[in-house]
């Protein structure tokens, strides 16, 4: 379990950060960029939760927030460390099952969706964009050194999950805000 008695340690004052295995890396490294993007995604999901009514979507998002901490620990642990906390296939599969369940009641897409509607829906769309950025950062890290393949799949699936969750919530609020190609061109 985590126990933090002191918030500041001064060990990072020189621009390095400690990893789970005790090694240190530059705060500007690809690993720290990926960890930071995952942390930001978690924070944006927290803001979205604050704008939503309690229910299934909030419960799912709370579980996802917990898993994003698992994912951060995964990314903070270099490959090959025994007993490391890693994202596992079942977590990716659960996201897929939730996507399928939410998507069942939705009409097929006939247009791209503008990220808007209610505050909660808009914030879930924002979280989706931040998750995409986190995925790009994790892919960049993976190009430099190995990353758990389930962690990469989780981020990919999570952005899909957030997209469908936004649609699911929007459906209960009157529907998606649809893109109207060329609507302001004056043709």
Specify whether the CB–CB gap between 99 and 57 falls below 8 A: no
Nearest to 87, CA basis, from 66, 61, 101, 57:
66
CA 179 to the chain's CA centroid:
24
Segment 116-162, tens digit of pLDDT: 889 999 999 999 999 999 999 999 999 999 999 999 999 999 999 99
Specify whether the CB–CB gap between 164 and 52 falls below 8 A: no
Of 16-30, 45-59, 77-91, 106-120, minimum mean pLDDT range: 16-30
Of 7-11, 112-116, 134-138, minimum mean pLDDT range: 7-11
> What's the predicted TM-score (pTM) here?
0.89
pLDDT band at 62 (very low <50, low <70, confident <90, very high): very high
Segment 64-110, tens digit of pLDDT: 999 999 999 999 998 877 888 999 999 999 999 999 999 999 999 88
Q: Which residues contact 129 (CB under 8 A, 6 or more apart)?
A: 115
């Amino acid at each position: 379990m985590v126990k933090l008695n002191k918030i500041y340690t001064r060990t990072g004052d020189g621009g390095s950060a400690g990893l789970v295995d005790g090694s240190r890396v530059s705060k500007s490294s690809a690993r720290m960029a990926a960890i930071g993007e995952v942390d930001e995604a978690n924070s944006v999901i927290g803001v979205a939760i604050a704008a939503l009514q309690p229910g299934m979507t909030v419960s799912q998002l709370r579980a996802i927030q917990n898993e994003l901490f698992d994912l951060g620990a995964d990314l903070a642990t270099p490959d090959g460390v025994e007993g490391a906390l890693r994202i596992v296939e079942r977590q990716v599969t659960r996201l897929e099952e939730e996507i399928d369940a939410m998507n069942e009641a939705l009409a097929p897409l006939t247009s791209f969706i503008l990220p808007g509607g209610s505050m909660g829906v808009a914030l879930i769309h924002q979280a989706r964009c931040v998750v995409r950025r986190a995925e790009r950062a994790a892919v960049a890290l993976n190009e430099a050194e190995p990353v758990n393949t389930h962690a990469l799949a989780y981020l990919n699936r999570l952005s899909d999950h957030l997209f469908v969750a936004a649609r699911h919530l929007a459906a209960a609020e009157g529907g998606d805000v649809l893109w109207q190609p060329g609507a302001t061109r004056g043709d």
